Amino acid sequence: MLGGNTMKKMLIALMCLLVLATSAAALQVPEGGTVAFGNNNQDRDVNATRTFTVTNEDANTTSVTVTSTLASKFKARFSPSNFSLIAGASQVVTATVFVPVDFDAVNDNLDETAFAIGAFQIKGTLGAGNDTTVSATLQAENRLRFSDGDVRISGSFSKTESIRDRDRVDDLKPGDSLKIEIEAENTFSDRRRRTDGPRNIDIDFDDVRIDIDVSGAEDFDIDEEDDSFSLPADEEESASFTIDIEDDARDRSHTVTVRIDGRDDNGARHGELITFTLDVERDAHDLVLRQISFTPLRVACNRNVIATTSLLNRGRIDEDEAGIQVEIPELGVVERSSLVDIDENDEASASVTFSIEDRVKPGTYAVRVFSVYDVTTKNNFKDLSFTVETCEDNIAPTTPVVTQPPVVTQPPVVTVPPVVVSPPTTPPVTTTPVTPTVPNVVGTSSSAPSYTWALVAGIIVVAALIVFLAVRFAKQ
């Protein structure tokens, strides 16, 4: 049986429960204790309106007054703000708040959210403990959005993929390079005209930042090229990032987080956060050929060539019999290096010597160099070329041909004696007195020029010579 003291304790506990059960506030707001204004499409510089219901759950009539703890910039008002409720009656109250132009759209995590702005106090005349308080929240539209995204991949393969929130980029390899471009958009309009919110037109962002973060950052080298810019109303702008996947990157998925964050001209914060996944996959065998060199680079008289490179093991397992193989299909050359052991993420040098036959003609020849494992299994390759030149030592010397200048024959020079022309001799004229006589002309005498005698002599000689020759031939 229960003792007396125990019975007393049980009765006291029961009475306390009854008191608590009957001490609940008489004025109730069934909306869940919160009045939420606005949504993710709510403009600023306008009023937002909501209603809530006040119910008198007491047995007595009460007068009700509705007030708020909101800051004055919200300009809260109620209709009605004072009313009377009989037992069990309800009253719908319309609450109106003003949405300031500097009201944030996102929180520190760039989540679009409703922010607490205060509370509404609903007081009656039924005494202490019968009043109630309702929280108030407000949400405004986010105008800085992720517009588009692309990732350009180069390395083990080349392609461009469009990225959206929660997308996945597959088949990436250690050593690949990613060029990521993120585009942000200012959705404030430069054309819209509103009578209830003119300050929502032509609002710019002066300093938009786009930041990128990758989980497992030790596996990546991130270069942010241009991550901050201004963004006028109704325009788009992009930022670019380069992500290089390290050679020793782990075989796993990595989350990329992109943050677009900015404040508009009025000071309101906007932005968006998106994520996508990079899947890095390491092959079981992945022997990477580093820079390959040929010695000599141009083959001439020395027809022995040495190909040298460094092999990086980016595969998931250690390689015990790895090397390189050189192939020149046009010349029928296939040569393999000596084999080496290469642990995961380690490097080792490899070289192979091959010969070019003397009969090979000068020219440029394609060479393919393979990495190999398990002695003969081909893995990666690189295509190169080398040049074969003429060996000057194999060219027989020749006697130089000397070209004589042409002989020019001069015609014989005939010397003609100068012809001297003597002027005629005129006897002096003597003036004597004229005696009338009858002239008696006996004859006229004159002096011929000297060249005339020479010409006559020449003619005589030539005539004599002709006569002489004519007589001689006649005798024959």
Three-state SS letters, 70-130: CCHHHCCEEECCEEEECCCCEEEEEEEEECCCCCCCECCCCCECCEEEEEEEEECCCCCCC
The tally of CA atoms less than 13 A away on the side-chain side of residue 173 is: 17
Specify the higher pLDDT residue, 222 or 467. Answer: 222
Residues 123 and 202 in one domain: no
Residues 185 and 308 in one domain: no
Residues 175 and 250 in one domain: yes
Q: Is the pLDDT of residue 431 over 90?
A: no
pLDDT score for 302: 84
DSSP H/E element including 180: strand 177-186
Return the minimum-mean-pLDDT range out of 71-85, 286-300, 366-380, 440-454: 440-454
Residues 269 and 317 in one domain: no
Q: Is the pLDDT of residue 425 over 90?
A: no
Specify the higher pLDDT residue, 209 or 197. Answer: 209
Domain annotation covers residue 252: yes
Are 268 and 102 in contact, with CB atoms under 8 Å apart? yes
C-alpha 398/C-alpha 313 separation (Å) is 56
Residues 6+ apart with CB under 8 A from 331: 356, 357, 360, 365
Q: Is the pLDDT of residue 15 over 50?
A: no
Residues 153 and 38 in one domain: no
pLDDT score for 68: 96
pLDDT score for 303: 87
Domain annotation covers residue 170: yes
Q: Of 391, 408, 425, which residue sits at a domain end?
A: 391
pLDDT score for 17: 39
Q: Looking at residue 343, what DSSP letter applies?
A: -
Are 26 and 62 in contact, with CB atoms under 8 Å apart? yes
Confidence of residue 421 (pLDDT cuts 50, 70, 90): very low
Entry pTM:
0.69
pLDDT tens, 128-161?
A: 778 899 999 999 999 999 999 999 999 888 989 9
Are 392 and 407 in contact, with CB atoms under 8 Å apart? no
Task: State the sign of the Cα–Cα–Cα–Cα dihedral 77, 80, 84, 88.
Answer: negative
Specify the higher pLDDT residue, 30 or 361. Answer: 361
pLDDT score for 460: 84
CA-wise closest residue to 53 among 94, 102, 21: 94
Residues 212 and 240 in one domain: yes
Return the minimum-mean-pLDDT range out of 146-150, 294-298, 389-393: 389-393
Residues 250 and 344 in one domain: no
Residues 234 and 312 in one domain: no
Mean pLDDT of 104-123: 97
Query: For the domain that residue 260 is a member of, what is the CATH number?
Result: 2.60.40.10
Return the minimum-mean-pLDDT range out of 416-425, 435-444, 466-475: 435-444
pLDDT tens, 234-281?
A: 999 999 999 999 999 999 999 999 999 999 999 999 999 999 999 999
CA-wise closest residue to 310 among 344, 338, 351: 351
Q: Is the pLDDT of residue 410 over 60?
A: no
Domain annotation covers residue 453: no
93: exposed, middle or buried (Cβ count in 10 Å: 0-12, 13-18, 19+): buried
Q: Is the pLDDT of residue 114 over 90?
A: yes
Domain annotation covers residue 339: yes
C-alpha 203/C-alpha 140 separation (Å) is 15
Q: Is the pLDDT of residue 43 over 50?
A: yes
The tally of CA atoms less than 13 A away on the side-chain side of residue 324 is: 28
Residues 231 and 157 in one domain: yes
Report the mean per-residue pLDDT for the chain. 83
Q: Provide the 3-class DSSP secondary structure of residue 425.
A: coil
Q: Is the pLDDT of residue 179 over 80?
A: yes
Q: What is the total count of domains within the chain?
A: 3
Domain annotation covers residue 264: yes
Cis peptide before 436 (omega within 30 of 0): no
- Using the CB atoms, write b or e for 55-84: b if 16+ within 10 Å: bbebeeebebebebebeeebebebeeeeee
Q: Is the pLDDT of residue 289 over 50?
A: yes
Both tokens assigned to 245: 């996947």
Residue count (the chain): 476
Domain annotation covers residue 450: no
Domain annotation covers residue 11: no
Both tokens assigned to 336: 């393999």
- φ/ψ of 51, rounded to 5, equals -120, 155
pLDDT tens, 51-60?
A: 999 999 999 9
Structural domain boundaries, residue 38: 24-139
Domain annotation covers residue 113: yes
